Amino acid sequence: MKWIVLLGLLAFSECIVKIPLRRMKTMRNTVSGKNMLNSFLKEHTYSLSQISSPVSNLTIHPLRNIRDIFYVGNITIGTPPQEFQVIFDTGSSLLWVPSVSCKSSTCSTRRRFRHLLSSTFRSTNVNCRITYESGRIKGKVVHDTVRIGDLVSTDQLFGLSIEEYGFQGLPFDGILGLNYPNISCPGVIPVFDNLMKQGAVAEPVFAFYLNKSKQEGSVVMFGGVDQRYYEGELNWIPLIKLGSWTIHMDRISMRREVIACSDGCEAIVDTGTSAIRGPRRLINNIQKLIGAKRCGFKHYVSCSVVNTLPSIIFTISGINYPVPARAYILKDSLGYCHTAFKEKRVTTSTESWVLGDVFLRLYFSVFDRGNDRISLARPV
Protein backbone atom coordinates (compact mmCIF):
# COMPACT_ATOMS: atom_id res chain seq x y z
CA MET A 1 0.00 0.00 0.00
CA LYS A 2 1.66 3.14 -1.16
CA TRP A 3 -1.40 4.97 -2.27
CA ILE A 4 -1.68 8.56 -3.30
CA VAL A 5 -3.44 10.55 -0.66
CA LEU A 6 -5.78 13.07 -2.21
CA LEU A 7 -6.34 15.81 0.28
CA GLY A 8 -9.24 17.98 -0.65
CA LEU A 9 -9.63 19.69 -3.96
CA LEU A 10 -6.72 22.00 -4.50
CA ALA A 11 -7.36 24.69 -7.02
CA PHE A 12 -5.07 23.64 -9.84
CA SER A 13 -6.94 25.56 -12.49
CA GLU A 14 -4.58 28.49 -12.26
CA CYS A 15 -1.48 26.57 -13.17
CA ILE A 16 -3.33 24.45 -15.69
CA VAL A 17 -3.85 27.35 -18.06
CA LYS A 18 -0.13 28.08 -17.90
CA ILE A 19 0.74 24.67 -19.28
CA PRO A 20 1.71 25.26 -22.90
CA LEU A 21 -0.02 22.95 -25.31
CA ARG A 22 3.03 21.04 -26.31
CA ARG A 23 2.68 19.63 -29.77
CA MET A 24 3.63 16.01 -29.86
CA LYS A 25 4.88 14.55 -33.09
CA THR A 26 2.10 12.36 -34.35
CA MET A 27 3.11 8.79 -33.80
CA ARG A 28 3.07 6.47 -36.70
CA ASN A 29 0.58 3.86 -35.75
CA THR A 30 3.10 1.07 -35.98
CA VAL A 31 1.97 -1.70 -33.71
CA SER A 32 -1.03 -1.33 -31.52
CA GLY A 33 -0.53 -2.40 -27.94
CA LYS A 34 -2.94 -5.23 -28.15
CA ASN A 35 -1.38 -6.79 -31.24
CA MET A 36 2.05 -6.45 -29.78
CA LEU A 37 1.00 -8.32 -26.68
CA ASN A 38 -0.80 -10.87 -28.78
CA SER A 39 2.25 -11.83 -30.76
CA PHE A 40 4.42 -12.00 -27.67
CA LEU A 41 1.88 -14.12 -25.92
CA LYS A 42 1.97 -16.55 -28.81
CA GLU A 43 5.72 -16.88 -28.50
CA HIS A 44 5.74 -17.31 -24.75
CA THR A 45 3.08 -19.68 -23.66
CA TYR A 46 3.02 -21.62 -20.45
CA SER A 47 0.57 -24.24 -19.45
CA LEU A 48 -1.95 -23.68 -16.73
CA SER A 49 -1.81 -27.26 -15.53
CA GLN A 50 -1.11 -26.42 -11.92
CA ILE A 51 -3.98 -24.03 -11.57
CA SER A 52 -7.10 -25.70 -12.74
CA SER A 53 -9.65 -25.13 -10.02
CA PRO A 54 -13.20 -25.62 -11.10
CA VAL A 55 -14.99 -22.33 -10.95
CA SER A 56 -17.34 -23.73 -8.31
CA ASN A 57 -14.49 -23.90 -5.83
CA LEU A 58 -13.45 -20.31 -6.11
CA THR A 59 -14.47 -17.38 -4.01
CA ILE A 60 -15.03 -14.50 -6.38
CA HIS A 61 -15.31 -11.37 -4.31
CA PRO A 62 -16.62 -8.11 -5.77
CA LEU A 63 -14.57 -4.93 -5.52
CA ARG A 64 -15.88 -1.43 -6.04
CA ASN A 65 -13.79 0.94 -8.12
CA ILE A 66 -13.65 4.36 -6.49
CA ARG A 67 -12.62 6.93 -9.12
CA ASP A 68 -9.96 4.57 -10.53
CA ILE A 69 -7.90 5.23 -7.39
CA PHE A 70 -9.11 2.66 -4.87
CA TYR A 71 -10.63 -0.78 -5.21
CA VAL A 72 -12.49 -1.67 -2.05
CA GLY A 73 -14.32 -4.78 -0.95
CA ASN A 74 -16.40 -5.83 2.05
CA ILE A 75 -15.30 -8.21 4.76
CA THR A 76 -16.81 -8.96 8.12
CA ILE A 77 -15.17 -9.43 11.49
CA GLY A 78 -16.61 -10.96 14.64
CA THR A 79 -19.74 -12.81 15.78
CA PRO A 80 -22.27 -11.52 14.86
CA PRO A 81 -20.44 -10.10 11.83
CA GLN A 82 -19.51 -6.41 11.66
CA GLU A 83 -18.91 -5.15 8.14
CA PHE A 84 -15.84 -3.23 6.94
CA GLN A 85 -14.73 -1.88 3.61
CA VAL A 86 -11.09 -2.68 3.00
CA ILE A 87 -8.42 -2.42 0.34
CA PHE A 88 -7.03 -5.81 -0.71
CA ASP A 89 -3.35 -4.88 -0.73
CA THR A 90 -0.56 -7.08 -2.09
CA GLY A 91 1.97 -4.53 -0.78
CA SER A 92 1.44 -5.23 2.93
CA SER A 93 0.61 -8.21 5.11
CA LEU A 94 -1.50 -7.14 8.05
CA LEU A 95 -5.27 -6.83 8.24
CA TRP A 96 -6.33 -3.87 10.30
CA VAL A 97 -9.44 -1.80 10.89
CA PRO A 98 -10.07 1.09 13.31
CA SER A 99 -10.82 0.21 16.91
CA VAL A 100 -13.88 1.66 18.60
CA SER A 101 -11.40 3.27 20.99
CA CYS A 102 -9.40 4.99 18.21
CA LYS A 103 -9.04 8.65 19.18
CA SER A 104 -7.66 10.00 15.92
CA SER A 105 -10.03 12.28 14.06
CA THR A 106 -9.70 10.13 10.92
CA CYS A 107 -11.30 7.20 12.74
CA SER A 108 -14.50 9.07 13.48
CA THR A 109 -15.59 9.08 9.83
CA ARG A 110 -15.04 5.35 9.30
CA ARG A 111 -16.53 2.16 10.67
CA ARG A 112 -14.84 1.03 13.87
CA PHE A 113 -14.71 -2.44 15.33
CA ARG A 114 -16.75 -2.85 18.54
CA HIS A 115 -14.95 -5.73 20.22
CA LEU A 116 -17.40 -5.92 23.13
CA LEU A 117 -20.16 -6.91 20.70
CA SER A 118 -18.27 -9.96 19.37
CA SER A 119 -18.48 -13.30 21.19
CA THR A 120 -15.46 -14.70 19.29
CA PHE A 121 -13.15 -11.74 20.06
CA ARG A 122 -9.92 -12.34 21.97
CA SER A 123 -7.33 -9.74 22.93
CA THR A 124 -3.53 -10.07 23.15
CA ASN A 125 -0.82 -8.03 24.85
CA VAL A 126 0.91 -7.27 21.56
CA ASN A 127 1.10 -3.69 20.36
CA CYS A 128 2.10 -2.94 16.82
CA ARG A 129 2.99 -0.08 14.51
CA ILE A 130 2.81 -0.19 10.73
CA THR A 131 4.18 2.46 8.41
CA TYR A 132 2.89 2.77 4.86
CA GLU A 133 4.20 5.09 2.20
CA SER A 134 1.38 7.53 2.96
CA GLY A 135 0.52 7.03 6.58
CA ARG A 136 1.03 5.03 9.72
CA ILE A 137 -1.03 3.36 12.37
CA LYS A 138 -0.46 2.33 15.96
CA GLY A 139 -2.64 -0.32 17.46
CA LYS A 140 -3.24 -3.60 19.17
CA VAL A 141 -3.10 -7.14 17.86
CA VAL A 142 -6.29 -9.13 18.53
CA HIS A 143 -8.05 -12.32 17.34
CA ASP A 144 -11.47 -12.85 15.82
CA THR A 145 -13.29 -14.56 12.97
CA VAL A 146 -12.80 -12.86 9.60
CA ARG A 147 -15.02 -13.55 6.59
CA ILE A 148 -14.42 -12.68 2.95
CA GLY A 149 -17.63 -13.74 1.22
CA ASP A 150 -17.96 -17.46 1.98
CA LEU A 151 -14.34 -17.81 3.11
CA VAL A 152 -13.93 -18.03 6.87
CA SER A 153 -10.68 -17.47 8.73
CA THR A 154 -11.25 -18.40 12.36
CA ASP A 155 -9.06 -17.09 15.14
CA GLN A 156 -7.51 -14.60 12.73
CA LEU A 157 -4.90 -12.26 14.20
CA PHE A 158 -5.31 -8.69 13.04
CA GLY A 159 -4.73 -5.11 14.09
CA LEU A 160 -7.11 -2.63 15.65
CA SER A 161 -5.81 0.89 15.13
CA ILE A 162 -5.81 3.15 18.17
CA GLU A 163 -3.93 6.03 16.53
CA GLU A 164 -3.65 6.88 12.86
CA TYR A 165 -1.68 9.44 10.89
CA GLY A 166 -2.21 10.33 7.24
CA PHE A 167 -5.54 8.59 6.62
CA GLN A 168 -7.68 11.70 6.15
CA GLY A 169 -10.60 11.48 3.79
CA LEU A 170 -9.93 7.98 2.53
CA PRO A 171 -12.96 6.02 1.35
CA PHE A 172 -12.24 2.76 3.19
CA ASP A 173 -12.12 1.53 6.77
CA GLY A 174 -8.97 -0.57 6.77
CA ILE A 175 -6.49 -2.60 4.78
CA LEU A 176 -6.29 -6.35 4.22
CA GLY A 177 -2.67 -7.23 3.43
CA LEU A 178 -2.06 -10.08 0.97
CA ASN A 179 1.71 -10.01 0.99
CA TYR A 180 3.90 -12.74 2.50
CA PRO A 181 4.04 -12.91 6.32
CA ASN A 182 7.35 -11.06 6.54
CA ILE A 183 5.88 -7.57 6.42
CA SER A 184 3.54 -7.81 9.37
CA CYS A 185 3.43 -7.37 13.10
CA PRO A 186 5.43 -9.94 15.09
CA GLY A 187 3.68 -13.29 15.31
CA VAL A 188 0.73 -12.29 13.14
CA ILE A 189 -0.22 -14.85 10.51
CA PRO A 190 -1.81 -12.92 7.61
CA VAL A 191 -5.33 -13.71 6.44
CA PHE A 192 -4.37 -15.63 3.30
CA ASP A 193 -1.77 -17.71 5.20
CA ASN A 194 -4.44 -18.58 7.74
CA LEU A 195 -6.90 -19.53 4.99
CA MET A 196 -4.25 -21.83 3.47
CA LYS A 197 -3.44 -23.32 6.88
CA GLN A 198 -7.09 -23.94 7.67
CA GLY A 199 -7.68 -25.56 4.27
CA ALA A 200 -10.26 -22.96 3.30
CA VAL A 201 -8.80 -22.39 -0.17
CA ALA A 202 -8.46 -25.22 -2.69
CA GLU A 203 -5.25 -23.77 -4.11
CA PRO A 204 -2.78 -21.26 -2.62
CA VAL A 205 -3.60 -18.67 -5.25
CA PHE A 206 -5.51 -15.40 -5.56
CA ALA A 207 -6.04 -13.12 -8.52
CA PHE A 208 -7.24 -9.61 -9.38
CA TYR A 209 -9.40 -8.36 -12.20
CA LEU A 210 -9.58 -4.56 -12.02
CA ASN A 211 -12.01 -2.86 -14.36
CA LYS A 212 -11.43 0.71 -15.49
CA SER A 213 -14.01 3.46 -15.16
CA LYS A 214 -16.87 1.19 -14.19
CA GLN A 215 -17.68 1.11 -10.49
CA GLU A 216 -18.79 -2.51 -10.57
CA GLY A 217 -17.24 -5.55 -12.22
CA SER A 218 -13.84 -5.70 -10.54
CA VAL A 219 -13.06 -8.75 -8.44
CA VAL A 220 -10.48 -10.45 -6.29
CA MET A 221 -10.70 -14.26 -6.40
CA PHE A 222 -9.34 -16.71 -3.88
CA GLY A 223 -8.45 -20.39 -4.22
CA GLY A 224 -7.84 -20.53 -7.96
CA VAL A 225 -8.18 -18.64 -11.20
CA ASP A 226 -11.41 -18.12 -13.10
CA GLN A 227 -10.57 -18.32 -16.79
CA ARG A 228 -13.56 -16.18 -17.68
CA TYR A 229 -11.59 -13.11 -16.60
CA TYR A 230 -8.66 -13.35 -19.00
CA GLU A 231 -7.83 -14.30 -22.56
CA GLY A 232 -4.86 -16.20 -23.92
CA GLU A 233 -2.25 -17.68 -21.65
CA LEU A 234 -1.02 -16.76 -18.22
CA ASN A 235 2.61 -15.64 -18.32
CA TRP A 236 4.41 -16.82 -15.22
CA ILE A 237 7.08 -14.66 -13.65
CA PRO A 238 9.14 -16.02 -10.73
CA LEU A 239 9.58 -13.86 -7.64
CA ILE A 240 13.10 -12.60 -7.12
CA LYS A 241 12.71 -11.93 -3.41
CA LEU A 242 11.04 -14.66 -1.43
CA GLY A 243 8.67 -13.08 1.00
CA SER A 244 7.44 -10.26 -1.22
CA TRP A 245 5.57 -9.87 -4.53
CA THR A 246 8.70 -8.57 -6.26
CA ILE A 247 9.71 -9.59 -9.78
CA HIS A 248 12.51 -8.77 -12.18
CA MET A 249 11.79 -6.28 -14.95
CA ASP A 250 13.97 -6.22 -18.09
CA ARG A 251 13.43 -2.62 -19.19
CA ILE A 252 11.00 0.25 -19.70
CA SER A 253 10.87 1.74 -23.18
CA MET A 254 9.04 4.29 -25.29
CA ARG A 255 9.28 4.74 -29.06
CA ARG A 256 11.65 1.76 -29.11
CA GLU A 257 14.12 3.50 -26.83
CA VAL A 258 14.92 2.35 -23.33
CA ILE A 259 13.88 5.15 -20.96
CA ALA A 260 14.35 3.43 -17.59
CA CYS A 261 15.38 0.15 -16.00
CA SER A 262 18.21 -0.02 -18.55
CA ASP A 263 20.22 -2.65 -16.67
CA GLY A 264 17.16 -4.50 -15.43
CA CYS A 265 15.47 -3.58 -12.18
CA GLU A 266 12.96 -4.87 -9.70
CA ALA A 267 9.22 -4.29 -9.74
CA ILE A 268 6.79 -4.68 -6.86
CA VAL A 269 3.32 -5.70 -7.97
CA ASP A 270 1.09 -3.74 -5.61
CA THR A 271 -2.70 -3.63 -5.80
CA GLY A 272 -2.74 -1.10 -2.95
CA THR A 273 -0.93 1.55 -5.01
CA SER A 274 -2.84 3.42 -7.66
CA ALA A 275 0.06 4.88 -9.69
CA ILE A 276 3.21 3.55 -11.31
CA ARG A 277 6.04 4.60 -9.07
CA GLY A 278 9.77 4.75 -9.66
CA PRO A 279 12.97 6.56 -8.72
CA ARG A 280 12.68 10.36 -8.86
CA ARG A 281 15.23 10.99 -11.62
CA LEU A 282 13.67 8.43 -13.96
CA ILE A 283 10.11 9.52 -13.20
CA ASN A 284 11.05 13.14 -13.89
CA ASN A 285 12.55 12.08 -17.20
CA ILE A 286 9.34 10.26 -18.16
CA GLN A 287 7.27 13.34 -17.26
CA LYS A 288 9.55 15.34 -19.56
CA LEU A 289 9.16 12.83 -22.40
CA ILE A 290 5.39 13.00 -22.01
CA GLY A 291 5.52 16.79 -21.89
CA ALA A 292 3.91 16.98 -18.47
CA LYS A 293 4.35 20.00 -16.22
CA ARG A 294 4.36 19.90 -12.48
CA CYS A 295 1.62 21.65 -10.59
CA GLY A 296 1.22 20.83 -6.93
CA PHE A 297 1.67 17.11 -6.40
CA LYS A 298 0.92 16.04 -9.95
CA HIS A 299 2.20 16.43 -13.48
CA TYR A 300 -0.37 17.73 -15.96
CA VAL A 301 -0.79 17.55 -19.71
CA SER A 302 -3.43 18.86 -22.05
CA CYS A 303 -6.08 16.16 -22.30
CA SER A 304 -5.86 16.22 -26.09
CA VAL A 305 -2.36 14.68 -26.12
CA VAL A 306 -3.77 11.31 -25.03
CA ASN A 307 -4.35 10.52 -28.69
CA THR A 308 -0.81 11.33 -29.76
CA LEU A 309 1.37 10.03 -26.96
CA PRO A 310 2.96 6.59 -27.47
CA SER A 311 2.62 3.58 -25.20
CA ILE A 312 5.22 3.04 -22.52
CA ILE A 313 6.35 -0.56 -22.61
CA PHE A 314 7.29 -2.58 -19.56
CA THR A 315 9.24 -5.69 -20.53
CA ILE A 316 9.08 -8.51 -18.01
CA SER A 317 10.53 -12.00 -18.56
CA GLY A 318 10.92 -11.17 -22.25
CA ILE A 319 7.30 -10.17 -22.74
CA ASN A 320 6.19 -6.64 -23.55
CA TYR A 321 3.39 -5.16 -21.48
CA PRO A 322 2.40 -1.89 -23.16
CA VAL A 323 0.75 0.82 -21.08
CA PRO A 324 -1.02 3.15 -23.53
CA ALA A 325 -1.47 6.87 -22.91
CA ARG A 326 -5.17 6.41 -22.21
CA ALA A 327 -4.06 4.33 -19.19
CA TYR A 328 -1.19 6.47 -17.91
CA ILE A 329 -3.01 9.77 -18.39
CA LEU A 330 -5.83 10.15 -15.85
CA LYS A 331 -8.56 12.76 -15.74
CA ASP A 332 -9.26 14.27 -12.33
CA SER A 333 -12.67 15.29 -11.01
CA LEU A 334 -12.23 18.79 -12.44
CA GLY A 335 -11.55 17.45 -15.92
CA TYR A 336 -7.79 18.09 -15.93
CA CYS A 337 -5.41 15.42 -17.16
CA HIS A 338 -2.39 14.30 -15.18
CA THR A 339 0.07 11.46 -15.53
CA ALA A 340 -0.04 8.31 -13.43
CA PHE A 341 3.72 8.35 -12.83
CA LYS A 342 4.86 9.18 -9.32
CA GLU A 343 8.20 9.18 -7.64
CA LYS A 344 8.82 6.67 -4.89
CA ARG A 345 9.21 8.36 -1.58
CA VAL A 346 11.28 5.54 -0.17
CA THR A 347 14.57 5.31 -2.01
CA THR A 348 16.41 2.01 -2.40
CA SER A 349 19.92 1.15 -3.49
CA THR A 350 18.74 -0.90 -6.46
CA GLU A 351 16.39 0.53 -9.08
CA SER A 352 12.92 -0.40 -7.96
CA TRP A 353 9.47 0.27 -9.44
CA VAL A 354 5.95 -0.21 -8.14
CA LEU A 355 3.38 -1.46 -10.62
CA GLY A 356 0.08 -0.27 -9.20
CA ASP A 357 -3.53 -0.28 -10.39
CA VAL A 358 -2.74 1.77 -13.52
CA PHE A 359 -0.78 -1.27 -14.73
CA LEU A 360 -2.99 -3.93 -13.12
CA ARG A 361 -6.13 -2.61 -14.83
CA LEU A 362 -4.46 -3.56 -18.11
CA TYR A 363 -3.23 -6.99 -17.00
CA PHE A 364 -5.15 -9.60 -15.05
CA SER A 365 -2.80 -10.64 -12.24
CA VAL A 366 -2.41 -13.95 -10.40
CA PHE A 367 -0.49 -14.30 -7.15
CA ASP A 368 0.67 -17.87 -6.63
CA ARG A 369 1.92 -18.62 -3.11
CA GLY A 370 2.35 -22.31 -3.94
CA ASN A 371 5.03 -21.63 -6.54
CA ASP A 372 6.23 -18.17 -5.48
CA ARG A 373 5.35 -16.52 -8.74
CA ILE A 374 3.08 -13.95 -10.32
CA SER A 375 1.28 -14.24 -13.58
CA LEU A 376 -0.05 -11.61 -15.93
CA ALA A 377 -2.56 -12.08 -18.71
CA ARG A 378 -4.77 -10.06 -21.03
CA PRO A 379 -8.08 -9.37 -19.24
CA VAL A 380 -11.41 -10.03 -20.95
Ligand X SMILES: *[C@@H]1O[C@H](CO)[C@@H](O)[C@H](O)[C@H]1NC(C)=O
Catalytic residues: 89, 270
Nearest to 140 by CA among 96, 183, 87: 96
Contact 325, 261 (CB under 8 A): no
244 sits near ligand X (criterion: CB under 6 A)? yes
- Distances from the Cα of 121 to the Cα of 107, 115, 175, 194, 195, angstroms: 20, 6, 19, 17, 18
Nearer to ligand X among residue 145 and residue 184 (C-beta): 184
335 sits near ligand X (criterion: CB under 6 A)? no
Nearest to 3 by CA among 109, 98, 107, 91: 91
Q: Pick the binder of ligand X from 182, 262, 304, 308 (CB under 6 A).
A: 182
Report the run of H or E that residue 135 belongs to, with start and end: strand 135-148
Nearer to ligand X among residue 174 and residue 291 (C-beta): 174
Region 82-121 residues binding ligand X, contact defined as CB under 6 A? 83
Distance CA(148)–CA(176), nearest Å, equals 10
- Distances from the Cα of 323 to the Cα of 128, 227, 314, 361, angstroms: 38, 23, 8, 10
Q: Pick the binder of ligand X from 67, 111, 241, 255 (CB under 6 A).
A: 241
Task: Compute the least distance from the CB of residue 97 to ligand X, in Å.
Answer: 14
Task: Compute the least distance from the CB of residue 23 to ligand X, in Å.
Answer: 30
Q: DSSP string covering 68-126, please?
A: TTEEEEEEEETTTTEEEEEEEETT---EEEEBTT--SGGGGGS--B-GGG-TT-EEEEE
Task: Compute the least distance from the CB of residue 37 to ligand X, in Å.
Answer: 18
Site string for ligand X, 43-72 (x = CB under 6 A): -----------x-xx----xxx--------
213 sits near ligand X (criterion: CB under 6 A)? yes
Nearer to ligand X among residue 126 and residue 202 (C-beta): 202
Nearer to ligand X among residue 118 and residue 302 (C-beta): 118
Report DSSP state, residue 341.
E
Q: Pick the binder of ligand X from 145, 153, 156, 211 (CB under 6 A).
A: 211
Task: Compute the least distance from the CB of residue 13 to ligand X, in Å.
Answer: 28
| Rounded CA Rg of the chain | 21
Q: How far from chain centre, in Å, is Cα 117?
A: 32
| Residue type present at position 2 | K
232 sits near ligand X (criterion: CB under 6 A)? no
Distance CA(209)–CA(62), nearest Å, equals 10
Is 9 exposed, middle or buried, given 0-12, 13-18 or 19+ CB atoms closer than 10 A?
Answer: exposed
243 sits near ligand X (criterion: CB under 6 A)? yes
Q: Pick the binder of ligand X from 48, 202, 289, 306 (CB under 6 A).
A: 202
Q: Please work out the total of residues on this chain that contact ligand X, with binding judged by CB under 6 A.
A: 20
Between strands 337-339 and 329-331, the pairing is: antiparallel
Contact 232, 222 (CB under 8 A): no
Task: Give the interface segment with ligand X, choosing from 109-117, 136-144, 208-216, 255-263 (CB under 6 A).
Answer: 208-216
Instruction: Give φ, ψ of 188 to 5 degrees.
Output: -85, 120
Task: Give the interface segment with ligand X, choosing from 31-39, 156-164, 236-244, 341-349 (CB under 6 A).
Answer: 236-244
Q: Reduced to 3 states, what is the DSSP secondary structure of residue 364?
A: strand
242 sits near ligand X (criterion: CB under 6 A)? yes
Q: Pick the binder of ligand X from 113, 180, 336, 341 (CB under 6 A).
A: 180
Contact 272, 91 (CB under 8 A): yes
Task: Compute the least distance from the CB of residue 117 to ligand X, in Å.
Answer: 17
Q: Pick the binder of ligand X from 23, 34, 197, 214 (CB under 6 A).
A: 214
Task: Compute the least distance from the CB of residue 150 to ligand X, in Å.
Answer: 12
152 sits near ligand X (criterion: CB under 6 A)? no
326 sits near ligand X (criterion: CB under 6 A)? no
Task: Compute the least distance from the CB of residue 370 to ligand X, in Å.
Answer: 12
Check residue 264 and give left, alpha or beta (phi > 0: left; psi -120 to 50: alpha).
Answer: left
Nearer to ligand X among residue 111 and residue 255 (C-beta): 111
35 sits near ligand X (criterion: CB under 6 A)? no
Interacting residue ranges for ligand X, rule: CB under 6 A? 54, 56-57, 62-64, 73-74, 83, 180, 182, 202, 211, 213-214, 217, 241-244
